[in-house]
Amino acid sequence: MISQPAQDDRGADVADGPSGTGSRGTRILGLVVLAGIALGAYLALVSSPPDVNMGDSVRLIYLHVPVVTVAYLACGLVTVASVMYLWKKSAWWDVTAAASAEIGLVFTCLTLVTGAIWGKPTWGTFWVWDPRLTATAMLALLLFGYQAVRHLPGDPTSRARRSAIVGLLVLPNVFLDNRAVTWWRSLHQGTTILNTLQPKIHDQMAFALVFNMFVGLLLATWLMIHRWRLAWLEQQVEVAELDEAIAERRAEGAAPSQPAGASGPTAGAPNPTPASPSPASTSARTEVQP
């Protein structure tokens, strides 16, 4: 069955717009991500051996570390895009900062959740006021604050500038979070993968971890593409609505005003005054008087 083309209120055919933010490239990337997630789950849950000390609880690391990596990269992109917006005043960078901030917030919250799940069998509790955990919680609160500033009503340009100023604080918090285990005494383990002098992870476990980190980056890229496109469309709609509202106000100001209470086609016209009699007519009326 062939569907009929859409029509507007006047009965004219209109072209169908895009039904989503996807494309052929994003669909292929999505399939690759799904396959990577399946293979990564097999490597983490079946192929890799348990840890000598932590046992099977180490398998949470294959999820926790990729999530943290994506959160750090997304937060770093927020600050870079904010700097570029304040410099270039480009809407492209503003949209990039907004999209990456949402992804960073999601993965930062996932970092806290997966870390708490890992901490229960390892430390015996879901939460301790550890420097790394506290810094991560502060980073999540900062990202929540960024979202609050971003959704404040007002002029889009002013809102973008305020959001960019808040975005400048994100990357320093990421650096503080990353170095917390080095600067202060922490229950959290230190560097594992990048410690080339004293490796602390088995080769097979390292391969599973690095592979899942790579899949996490592909997933973040897929999410970023879709969220960026949606944020761009949202901004264009907002700008169009603002231009339309300004045009309506200008039209109202240009229209002629009508006094209150006046009606009819001669409304607002001055009342006619009776014409004074001419001298000739006055003399004529004088002569006929007895």
What's the structural domain count of the chain?
1
Residue 190, Cα to own-chain centre: how many angstroms?
Answer: 32
Report DSSP state, residue 259: -
The pLDDT, as a whole number, for residue 182 is 73
Whether 266 is in a domain gets the answer: no
The pLDDT, as a whole number, for residue 115 is 87
Residue located via tokens 């490239």? 25
Whether 206 is in a domain gets the answer: yes
Whether 18 is in a domain gets the answer: no
Measured N-to-C along each axis, helices 131-150 and 61-88 cross at an angle, to the nearest 10 degrees, of 40
- For the whole model, what pTM was predicted? 0.72
Would you list the DSSP string of 39-101? HHHHIIIIISPPBTTTBGGGGGHHHHHHHHHHHHHHHHHHHHHHHHHHHH--HHHHHHHHHHH
Whether 195 is in a domain gets the answer: yes
Average pLDDT (62-88) is 94
Sign of the Cα torsion 141, 144, 146, 149 reads negative
Whether 260 is in a domain gets the answer: no
Query: Rounded to whole angstroms, how far apart are CA atoms 186 and 74?
Result: 25
Condensed to tens digits (0 to 9), the pLDDT of residues 260-276 reads: 555 555 444 555 555 55
Give the structural domain span for 107: 66-244
Query: Of 241, 239, 262, 231, which is closest to residue 98 (Cα–Cα)?
Result: 231
Residue 116 · residue 126 · CB < 8 Å: yes
In this predicted structure, the answer to whether residue 2 has a pLDDT above a threshold of 70 is no
Would you list the DSSP string of 226-281? HHHHHHHHHHHHHHHHHHHHHHHHHHHHHSPP--TT--STTTTPPPPPPPPPPHHH
H helix or E strand, kind and range, residue 34: helix 24-42
| Greater pLDDT, 258 or 129 | 129
201 token code pair:
């992870």
| Greater pLDDT, 202 or 80 | 80
Residue 278, Cα to own-chain centre: how many angstroms?
Answer: 82
Residue located via tokens 């607002």? 268
**Strand partners for 55:** 51
Tally of residues, the chain:
290
Residue 93 Ramachandran class (φ > 0 left, ψ -120 to 50 alpha, else beta):
alpha
Query: Rounded to whole angstroms, how far apart are CA atoms 153 and 117?
Result: 38
Q: Number of helices (H) and strands (E), helices first, in the chain?
A: 8, 0
The pLDDT, as a whole number, for residue 161 is 93
Whether 282 is in a domain gets the answer: no
Average pLDDT (168-193) is 75
Tally of CB atoms within 10 A around 210: 15
The pLDDT, as a whole number, for residue 143 is 95
Whether 236 is in a domain gets the answer: yes
Mean pLDDT score of the chain, rounded to an integer?
A: 78
In this predicted structure, the answer to whether residue 16 has a pLDDT above a threshold of 60 is no
The pLDDT, as a whole number, for residue 260 is 53
Whether 94 is in a domain gets the answer: yes
